[in-house]
């Protein structure tokens, strides 16, 4: 109440202002200033928060994780169906961007497809990033933006995540893990064990596009071609299909291609599968790559293709349902299930001969002989 109070108050106010300025500054979102990822971006400190706030949250439409986890009302999910589907996949690809996509969109599509082929409506994804020191920030921003866009377009949300940085040489630029949660409508159950002799096998389009695009994009083989990765989310196509016909089994044809999936099915159903080679859709450029490098399109990876088995009576309806969807316009019946040669897959050639179609032993490598 006396005169000296005034300067004290002024001093106090000035300190308050300064504090507020510091706090405002501390909480202000900052753009990441560095050109490349550094150890600090994974250190749990300021640099990491900048990375999350500047790159990750905007790309993913401000994820909803509260504290250390994302939380959902069970009742909302239960309204969609009786079974929760949960899957995880880790994405490692060289190069990180390629014609038709990048590791980010692929990490979204791949996990959506893993859910979709079980009949699930995909809802939520997580995103675990392993960054190698030295990864250009601009490239990371591009990939995360693409990842967010892929999720938005597919109607799923990336709701939780994690970021680690490893020393240079301890990883190959960027690895992404996505786990996904979805709900399977009550009554829908697809499994290779449900296959029956006479069932018809269908795919939604040309095979080997992704594998060929990646081989070319690596640049080591000095090939040029307009072929693009087929990376795409298949859940809408799957929904159209399962609403149209009863589907016995479904699988997305990723690494190992069609050959891997049909062999797994033949094994788990203990039935024979027979692929009709001339009806398998393959782009001419993919065929060209295969002729040049001695590869088989049935062994090449896809990121937007599935195999479905339906009872024979529903084959045409299944084909029509798929062809009505843009991702199924090249759909084709490619084979059937048989009680002959249980556990073995054969391929019927255009010459009326058949041979065994095996899984590839290693990875598809260019050969000279």
Partner 1 sequence: MCLGVPGQVVAIDDAKTARGVVDVGGVRRVANLACVLEGDDPQALVGAWVLIHVGFAMSRIDAEEAARTLDLIKQLGELDDAP
Partner 2 sequence: MKYVSEFRDPPAARRLVATIESLMSRRPKTLQGAPLKIMEVCGGHTHAIFKFGLETLLPETIELVHGPGCPVCVLPVGRVDDAISIATSEGVIFCTYGDALRVPGSRTSLAGAKAEGADVRTVYSPTDALALARANPSRRVVFFGLGFETTAPSTALTLLQAEREGVSNFFVFSNHVTIIPALRALLDAEDLQVDGFIGPGHVSMVIGVEPYHFIAEHYRRPFVVSGFEPLDVLQSIAMVVAQHVEGRAVVENQYSRLVSTQGNSAAQTAIHEVFKPRAHFEWRGLGSIAESGLELQPRFARFDAEQAFRVPALSVADPKACQCGEVLKGQLRPYECKVFGTACTPETPIGSCMVSSEGACAAYYSYGRLTSLRRASGLKVHP
Q: Does 227 bind partner 1 (CB under 8 A)?
A: yes
Which residue stretch of 50-58, 146-154, 165-173, 215-223 sits at the interface with partner 1 (rule: CB under 8 A)? 215-223
Q: Does 293 bind partner 2 (CB under 8 A)?
A: yes
- Distance, CA of 155 to CA of 157 (rounded, Å): 7
Among 186, 284, 316, 339, indicate the residue that binds partner 2 (CB under 8 A).
Answer: 284
The footprint of partner 2 on residues 177-236 (CB under 8 A) is 220-222
- Distance, CA of 304 to CA of 207 (rounded, Å): 9
Which residue stretch of 175-183, 189-197, 237-245, 344-352 sits at the interface with partner 2 (rule: CB under 8 A)? 344-352
Closest of 243, 248, 246 to residue 337, by C-alpha: 248
Cβ of 136: how many Cβ atoms within 10 Å? 13
Q: Do residues 235 and 121 touch, judged by C-beta distance below 8 A? A: yes
Q: Does 292 bind partner 1 (CB under 8 A)?
A: yes
Q: Do residues 342 and 272 touch, judged by C-beta distance below 8 A? A: yes
Q: Does 361 bind partner 1 (CB under 8 A)?
A: no
Which residue stretch of 95-103, 229-237, 344-352, 361-369 sits at the interface with partner 1 (rule: CB under 8 A)? 361-369
Q: Does 369 bind partner 1 (CB under 8 A)?
A: yes
- Torsion angle (degrees, nearest 10) of CA 54, 56, 59, 65: -120
Q: Do residues 59 and 139 touch, judged by C-beta distance below 8 A? A: no
φ and ψ of 96, to 5 deg = -70, -30
Which residue stretch of 25-33, 103-111, 181-189, 225-233 sits at the interface with partner 1 (rule: CB under 8 A)? 225-233
Cross-sheet strand order for the sheet of 272-276: 249-252, 306-310, 200-203, 332-338, 272-276, 345-348, 354-356
Q: Does 367 bind partner 1 (CB under 8 A)?
A: yes
Q: Which is nearer to partner 1, 155 or 294 (CB)?
A: 294
Q: Which is nearer to partner 2, 94 or 186 (CB)?
A: 94
- Distance, CA of 17 to CA of 15 (rounded, Å): 5
Q: Do residues 180 and 141 touch, judged by C-beta distance below 8 A? A: no
Q: Which is nearer to partner 1, 3 or 369 (CB)?
A: 369
User: Which ranges constitute the DSSP H helices of 117-220?
Assistant: 137-154, 209-217
Q: Does 287 bind partner 1 (CB under 8 A)?
A: yes
Which residue stretch of 145-153, 222-230, 296-304, 319-327 sits at the interface with partner 1 (rule: CB under 8 A)? 222-230
Q: Which is nearer to partner 1, 68 or 222 (CB)?
A: 222
- Residues lying near partner 1 in the complex (CB under 8 A) are found at 216, 221-227, 284-285, 287-289, 291-292, 294, 367-369
């Amino acid at each position: 109440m006396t005169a000296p109070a005034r300067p004290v108050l002024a001093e106090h106010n000035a300190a308050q202002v300064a504090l507020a300025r510091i706090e405002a500054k501390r909480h202000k979102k900052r753009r990441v200033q560095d050109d490349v990822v550094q150890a600090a971006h994974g250190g749990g400190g300021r640099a990491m928060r900048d990375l999350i706030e500047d790159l990750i949250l905007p790309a993913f439409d401000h994820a909803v994780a509260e504290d250390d986890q994302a939380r959902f009302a069970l009742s909302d999910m239960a309204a969609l169906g009786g079974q929760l589907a949960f899957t995880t996949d880790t994405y490692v690809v060289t190069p990180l961007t390629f014609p038709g996509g990048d590791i980010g969109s692929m990490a979204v599509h791949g996990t959506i497809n893993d859910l979709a082929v079980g009949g699930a409506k995909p809802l939520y994804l997580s995103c675990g990033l392993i960054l190698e020191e030295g990864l250009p920030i601009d490239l990371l921003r591009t990939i995360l933006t693409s990842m967010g866009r892929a999720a938005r377009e597919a109607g799923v949300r990336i709701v939780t995540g994690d970021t680690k940085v490893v020393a240079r040489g301890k990883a190959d630029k960027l690895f992404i893990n996505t786990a996904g949660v979805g709900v399977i409508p009550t009554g829908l159950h697809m499994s290779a064990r449900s296959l029956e002799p006479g069932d018809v096998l269908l795919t939604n389009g040309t095979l080997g596009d992704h594998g060929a695009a990646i081989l070319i994009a690596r640049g080591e083989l000095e090939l040029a071609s307009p072929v693009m990765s087929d990376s795409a989310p298949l859940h809408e196509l799957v929904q159209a299909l399962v609403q149209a016909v009863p589907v016995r089994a479904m699988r997305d044809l990723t690494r190992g291609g069609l050959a891997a999936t049909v062999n797994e099915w033949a094994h788990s159903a203990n039935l024979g599968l027979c692929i009709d080679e001339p009806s398998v859709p393959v782009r001419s450029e993919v065929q060209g790559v295969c002729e040049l490098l001695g590869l088989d399109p049935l062994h090449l990876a896809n990121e937007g293709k599935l195999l479905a088995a339906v009872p024979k009576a529903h084959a045409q309806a299944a084909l029509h349902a798929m062809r009505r969807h843009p991702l199924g316009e090249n759909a084709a019946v490619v084979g059937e299930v048989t009680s002959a040669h249980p556990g073995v897959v054969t391929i019927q050639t255009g010459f009326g001969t058949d041979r065994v179609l095996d899984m590839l032993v290693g990875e598809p490598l260019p050969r000279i002989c």
